[in-house]
Structure 1
Amino acid sequence: MIGRGRAVADSGVAHEAVGAGDLDGAAAIFTSVRPRLFGIAYRMLSSASEAEDLVQEVWLRWQTTDRSVVVNPAAFLATTTTRLAINALQSARMRRETYIGPWLPEPVDTSADPYLGAERGEALEFAALLLMEKLTPNERAAYVLREAFDYPYAQIADILRSTEPAVRQLVSRARRHMAEERRTPVSAEAQRELLTTFIAAARSGDMAALERLLAADVTNIADGNGRVRVSRRPVVGAERVAKFMTALMWFWEGVEVRWATTNGQTSAVLWHDGEVYGLITVSASTDGIDRVLWMVNPEKITAAVAPA
């Protein structure tokens, strides 16, 4: 495993080897790199709760590792996290085959850490996470490590037990797949303004205003996993989405909207009778809002969102 026997730069995060019995030192190192480990795990799994569980497993393994032979603890921990995440992703995809209705990434609060432990905010927004679902686990890992964390190709090759040329191909394929469907997003300020205006139009049932905000091929997706009554099929097209939203005017009765920052963008956390009811966000390009995403699966909301 990487980090044993030779030092490997870990994107500027490096520590001295820790004695086998120095648990305090091991804990200090783990704590210092934990945000990075969580950022890797979340981008791989698209689930804050699953990422937390995985990082906890890494901590347990770190405690029982012979740390005296680990030259670069940060590299060792990142490698362990990535390899566990690849295995976990394969299992997660099998579970999603029995998911009731559309599946969406679990939101994560990024108000305190906009890049979620990374050098860049890449592979964090909902649109990017959805596109990454089409990548193979190794393509996804290579893309995340390179594009979000700026790992050298040689180190990614060690992590994936591959070669540098093969890793370059993985990253190239992943970039190509992402670019095929990805649109240039609007600024964070514009995204927040569009979301605010969209919710106001939806609450008032203003169909004309809704259509003006939406891209022609907009898709409305609701994730409830059968626990909340929502559309189990995406609604596609500006007119259809606008009609769908105006038919849901009743939904907004008694709903309080609080703003939050999740996945590097503005989201609206919906409260009803003092409880979190759901979360809505949008992705948008110069053509307008191209995705309206509703997360109303109670487990995803209560586990991952800290309202502003």
Structure 2
Amino acid sequence: MNDPVHDHATEIFVAHRDLLFTVAYEMLGSAADAEDVLQEAWLRWVRVDLGQVRDTRAYLVRITTRQALNRLRTLKRRKETYVGPWLPEPLLTSPDVAENTELSEHLSLALMLVLETLSPTERAVFVLHEVFDFGYDDIAAAIGKTPTAARQIAYRARLHVDGRRPRATASPRQAEAALDSFRTALETGDLQALLDVLAPDVVFVSDGGGLRLAALRPVEGVDNVLRYMAGSLTKAGGTFTSVPTTVNGNPGLVLRLDGAIDGVLALAVEDARVTGLYYVRNPEKLTRVESETPLASR
């Protein structure tokens, strides 16, 4: 027999699911963990008396945030034993995410990596306020603090992020142009063209998670990056191909070696030059790069 109350709760949850997943993913940097958080949030949501809920969106985000905070603490312990640099799990996203300039900026691997330097509570407050535009009353309820405390945490988190975020965000057109130039130079082996598109202080970060070959620390400076990339291509052998795609709302490449996915490359672009290359090779993080993951900020 159908339960009308349960069915209504399900309809509400499904209507907000993309938003809840985006909140959890933005806090965790892992789609698999975000899915687990949504499952936990759902189990709590169906036990709620809907008659006592004034704002279902805010209430669902509150539940999701609390579960994500619990998961963040677990992830911190897991990352302490991670082999090499840790990068967020890349997601193949739809054009509408790319058109949402603010969301796509915050979803970029470069900025999500900056969020890793925040405490769990700071990250939750920053994400809810800066990305999803929640007020301090709702944020305070989600993190178990007063609105005044939430405001102070938001201020500290914003200062921290602003001091580390890209100096100048490129327009989508500039980012696509830089990606095209980089891809062409890479596939043709044109060293001068690579020098022209890469910034002198470019940083290359690769994530193999101990399962695939990757640099154990970030490679800094254009000369070192070029040497590392050339050496990696030589060691890999086979034929590399690259396919332009939208990664976390930003231009990126899916790289294949002899037809099989080798990794996903995301770029940070400032002043029409590439300042960051983020290459995810860990196969456990490449499960969502062949079909789009729906994301939402509302």
Q: TM-score, normalised by structure 2?
A: 0.89
The unaligned stretches of length 5 or more in structure 2 are 293-298
Match of 1:97 in 2: 80
| 1:275 paired residue among 250, 260, 278 | 260
Match of 1:190 in 2: 174
What SS does the corresponding residue of 1:174 show, helix, strand or coil?
Answer: helix
Rounded to whole Å, the distance in 2 between the matches of 1:257 and 1:162 is 47
Match of 1:229 in 2: 213
Rounded to whole Å, the distance in 1 between the matches of 2:184 and 2:140 is 49
| CA-CA distance at 1:259 after TM superposition | 2.1
Match of 1:106 in 2: 89
The RMSD of aligned alpha carbons is: 2.3
Match of 2:290 in 1: 306
| 2:196 paired residue among 212, 221, 226 | 212
| CA-CA distance at 1:42 after TM superposition | 0.6
Query: In the superposition, relative to structure 1, how do residues 244 and 120 fare at CA in structure 2: closer, same or farther (>3 Å)?
Result: closer
Contact 1:269 1:307 in 2 (8 A): no
| 1:39 paired residue among 22, 36, 42 | 22
Query: In the superposition, relative to structure 1, how do residues 116 and 33 fare at CA in structure 2: closer, same or farther (>3 Å)?
Result: farther
Contact 1:118 1:148 in 2 (8 A): no
Rounded to whole Å, the distance in 2 between the matches of 1:139 and 1:168 is 10
Whether 1:23 and 2:31 are equivalent positions in the alignment is no
Aligned AA for 1:300?
K
Match of 2:110 in 1: 127
| CA-CA distance at 1:60 after TM superposition | 1.9
Match of 1:149 in 2: 132
| CA-CA distance at 1:176 after TM superposition | 0.7
Match of 1:159 in 2: 142
Match of 1:257 in 2: 242
Aligned AA for 2:249?
G
What SS does the corresponding residue of 1:216 show, helix, strand or coil?
Answer: strand
What SS does the corresponding residue of 2:85 show, helix, strand or coil?
Answer: coil
| CA-CA distance at 1:203 after TM superposition | 3.0
The structure, 1 or 2, with the larger RCO (C-alpha pairs under 8 Å, 6+ apart) is 2
| CA-CA distance at 1:108 after TM superposition | 1.6
Contact 1:205 1:245 in 2 (8 A): no
What SS does the corresponding residue of 1:64 show, helix, strand or coil?
Answer: coil
What SS does the corresponding residue of 2:106 show, helix, strand or coil?
Answer: coil
Contact 2:104 2:250 in 1 (8 A): no
Rounded to whole Å, the distance in 2 between the matches of 1:200 and 1:257 is 10
What SS does the corresponding residue of 2:215 show, helix, strand or coil?
Answer: coil
| 1:291 paired residue among 260, 276, 298 | 276
| CA-CA distance at 1:307 after TM superposition | 5.7
| CA-CA distance at 1:223 after TM superposition | 0.4
% identity of equivalent residues? 38
Whether 1:241 and 2:225 are equivalent positions in the alignment is yes
Contact 2:98 2:246 in 1 (8 A): no
Aligned AA for 1:206?
D
The count of aligned residue pairs is: 288
The unaligned stretches of length 5 or more in structure 1 are 1-19
Query: In the superposition, relative to structure 1, how do residues 281 and 116 fare at CA in structure 2: closer, same or farther (>3 Å)?
Result: same
Query: In the superposition, relative to structure 1, how do residues 247 and 274 fare at CA in structure 2: closer, same or farther (>3 Å)?
Result: closer
| CA-CA distance at 1:150 after TM superposition | 0.8
